[in-house]
Amino acid sequence: MARMKDKVAVVTGAASGIGRASAKLFAAEGAKVVAVDRSKAVDETVKAIQETGGMALSMIADASKEEDVANFVDTAVKEFGKLDALYANAGISGGGQPPFFELTAEHWRQVLDVNLIGVFLAIKHAARVMIPNKKGSIVCTASVAGIRSGAGGGPYSASKAGVINLTTTAANYLTGTGVRVNAICPGIIETGMTKPIFDYAEQRGTKDRIGQLNPLKRYGHPEEIAAMALFLASDDASYVNGQHIAVDGGLTSSMPVTGRVGR
């Protein structure tokens, strides 16, 4: 398969988890990839891509800083001649925060800066270079936490709800340009962000119970989100625009309950 043949893609949050899996998959499907993260571990992602014959370069950048975002978008164009797809995946959970009524404005700013304003900046600067080509795909990582409560803390959930709304708003701002904007809403995925949950369950011997509230009765893997990101970034999704798509084992298809009639 070569669904990204001759395409240039930027992936943020590419040092681990969903971002790393997506950068590797995009490259395997033929894309030239700019892998971005504020962690130097992004170099390992690029090394893995290059070792399998792919083309990629890494950049250390902060997805919440406009100067950094403009720079990695411009670098993609300078190094590879264009930008066809950008996956705005970088995000933080804001884990370890105090209870809701003890949160401060600073707690909220830290999460919103990366998870929501960072996505806005990615859309803004990616669209800037895509519009002249009259084509492009921008994919954003939202979350099931942005659809319903119970899947994350207040700031995180609100930031992801904002990403969902921003996706629809941006798609309409870009009417007639040929640039598409969509969002993915992952369920519980085993990544660095969710590591404390998985580590705690491992200690208790209950890891196999993670994800039991969805109809598939399991948690997900970064590669399963990467597969959706690839679809949305590719021309296979040429008529998909302004959507938020849950990849969650069916969790948001129903209000979670512990048992169901008719088994």
Extents of the domains making up the chain: 8-190+221-248
Residue 156 falls in the annotated catalytic set: yes
Q: Would you say residue 207 has pLDDT above 80?
A: no
Does the structure show a pLDDT above 50 at 107? Answer: yes
CATH class belonging to 8-190+221-248: alpha beta
Q: Position of tokens 């890891």?
A: 207
* CA 144 centroid distance within chain: 12
Q: Choose the catalytic residue: 87, 156, 200, 239.
A: 156
Q: Side-chain half-sphere of 231: how many Cα atoms within 13 Å?
A: 15
| Residue pLDDT, tens place only, 2-46 | 999 999 999 999 999 999 999 999 999 999 999 999 999 999 999
From CA 137, how far away is CA 124, in angstroms rounded? 12
The separation between CA 224 and the C-alpha centre of its own chain, rounded to angstroms, equals: 12
Asked if the model's pLDDT at residue 257 lies above 90, the reply is no
> How far is the C-alpha of 180 from the C-alpha of 91, rounded, in Å?
21
How far is Cα 164 from Cα 46, in angstroms, rounded to an integer?
29
Give the pLDDT of residue 101: 93
Q: How far apart are CA 69 and CA 74, in angstroms?
A: 9
Mean pLDDT over the full length of the chain:
92
Say what the pTM is.
Answer: 0.93
Distance CA 25, CA 222 (A): 11
Per-residue pLDDT band at 152 (split at 50, 70, 90): confident
> So what's the pLDDT on residue 204?
74
The residues near 77 (Cβ < 8 Å, ≥ 6 apart) are 8, 83, 129
The yes-or-no verdict on residue 256 having pLDDT over 70 is no
225 by Cβ neighbours in 10 Å (0-12 / 13-18 / 19+) ranks as: buried
What values do phi and psi take at 25, rounded to 5?
Answer: -70, -45
